[in-house]
Amino acid sequence: MTMAKLFYFASLSEAMGCREETLSVDPAWTVGQLLDSLEERASALKAMRGRYRVAVDQQMVASEEVVIGPAQEIALIPPVSGGGGAWVRLDHEPIVSDQVLEAVRRPDCGAVLLFLGCVRDSFQGEVVERIDYSAYESMALSELKSLAEESLGRLGEPGAVAVWHRLGPVAAGEPSVAVGVASPHRKPAFEEGQWLIDTLKARVPIWKKEIGPGGAVWIEGDARVPSA
């Protein structure tokens, strides 16, 4: 165990009952395991999960799967004043649509779009029980951020964009990707939502393996490659 200083800002400090504290932290824990531990102490924090980011030694972490290591400082950072911006997640957590909406909703935007891409229960007559998603994670996260920022640049101010893609097994009927867009008017919100999901599927290095009673198949572009 190592001693690390934890910092909580804005509403998170109220949820935790303090602005900072020093805790004994297992360096083998992932960020997600640390947050689970904190939520056991402060139930209010659980409802806020996904609305804030985590920095370890003043570096933002890409996902909750990151191992903390011998950290000296860990900070829970909510969105800064003004809201909006580009919000991206790539992890194994189930997608929560309310968190995506919260990430983009702002009072000066009259149009808020939410798109959920869900796993279908069949494809070309074959039953699909689930899809396993894998990725070149560091590159995929970088590409997602780039797409979100490009879309946000076209929206201008005011505007907001959120993209959340799930990894690992996703059962039929559950969402594997979510896109949120906020704009003063509906037309640009619809246009950017369409562009984001279409471009994401073409550019971001995320792969899917369909699992069903007949076996497993990798989907690689237009090809269907039987899993070994």
- For residue range 67-120, list pLDDT tens digits in order: 999 888 999 977 644 445 788 999 999 999 998 998 898 888 999 999 999 999
Q: What is the pLDDT of residue 79?
A: 61
Question: How far apart are the C-alpha atoms of 71 and 56, rounded to whole Å?
Answer: 6
The DSSP output letter for 45 is G
Name the phi and psi angles at 162, rounded to 5. -140, 140
| pLDDT score recorded for residue 200 | 94
Determine the Cα–Cα distance for residues 83 and 103; give it in Å rounded to an integer.
8
Q: Radius of gyration (Cα) for the chain, nearest Å?
A: 19
Q: What is the mean pLDDT of residues 34-41?
A: 93
Q: What is the mean pLDDT of residues 129-156?
A: 90
Report the residue count for the chain. Answer: 228
Is the pTM higher than 0.75?
A: no
Strand partners, 162: 87, 180
Residue for token digits 């009259």?
A: 110
CA distance 214 to 195: 34
Tokens of 144: 């997602």
Contact of 79 with 48, CB cutoff 8 Å? no
Which pLDDT belongs to residue 68?
92
Q: In Å, how far are 31, 42, 57, 72 from 68, measured between CA atoms?
A: 6, 20, 10, 10
CATH superfamily of 85-226: Molybdopterin biosynthesis MoaE subunit (3.90.1170.40)
Contact 62, 90 (CB under 8 A): yes
Task: Please give the pLDDT value at position 228.
Answer: 61
Helix, strand, coil shares of the chain, percent, nearest 5, are 30, 40, 30
Residue 32 has pLDDT above 50, yes or no: yes
The whole-angstrom separation of Cα 24 and Cα 160 is 37
Query: What architecture does CATH give domain 2-77?
Result: Roll (3.10)
Cβ(197)–Cβ(100) below 8 Å: no
User: What pLDDT was estimated at residue 81?
Assistant: 41
Parts of the chain belonging to CATH 3.90.1170.40: 85-226
Percent over 70 (pLDDT), the chain: 96
Measuring CA to CA, which residue among 23, 120, 33, 37 is closest to residue 72? Answer: 23
Range(s) within the chain of domains with CATH label 3.10.20.30: 2-77
Q: Residue 77 phi/psi, 5° resolution?
A: -120, 110
